[in-house]
Amino acid sequence: MGFPPRKVPEKRCLMCDKRLDRKRYPNGEIESPYWFLRRQFCSLHCANSRLKGGLSRKAFYNRARKLRKKRCEACGNQEARLHVHHVDENWKNNSPDNLQTLCSFCHQFWHRLHERLGLRCQERMPKFSSLWHRQHLEGLGGSEAMGIPFVPLRQRPSSKRISR
């Protein structure tokens, strides 16, 4: 008669949440506690399905990408590369009200703005009107009539040298 199996804590599969038990090999031996504690999945099926949409960060981003819209929700650009912005910065929260489609410029701008101010992004990036929108609103009575304040653009110094 041998020693009774050593007590090990209860473990669960990371994919299907099934209770893990120590394996019994064909020769009658029981899986060692060391290897049992290292095991994370109940079967090869669960271990391989993790790559097909399980708990990985990439899988959550792929799910969010399916909810991406056709244009940036802030500037309206549809030709730039579009990103999916998680409003509460939790990449595991893929609910549609937490996702916002932004072009790469707006997405970087929104995160860097909050980073410089020392804040966390907790709201959606607002829509902003561009110069193009203002010019087209002139025909509709002006941008001020539509409630969009006119802000003149700064004149940048010319990069060309003046020849004397």
Helices (H) then strands (E): counts for the chain: 5, 4
Give the pLDDT band of residue 155 (cuts 50, 70, 90).
low
What span, in angstroms and rounded, lies between the C-alpha atoms of 116 and 52? 37
Side-chain half-sphere exposure of 50, counting CA atoms within 13 A: 16
Q: For residue 26, what pLDDT is reported?
A: 93
Is the pLDDT reported for residue 150 higher than 70? no
Amino acid identity of residue 33, one-letter, is P
Cβ atoms of 111 and 127 within 8 Å: the answer is no
What are 51-89's pLDDT values in tens digits?
A: 555 567 777 787 788 888 999 998 888 888 999 999 988
Torsion of CA 57, 63, 69, 71, to 10 degrees: 30
How large a percentage of the chain has pLDDT more than 90?
15
- Token pair for residue 44? 């090869």
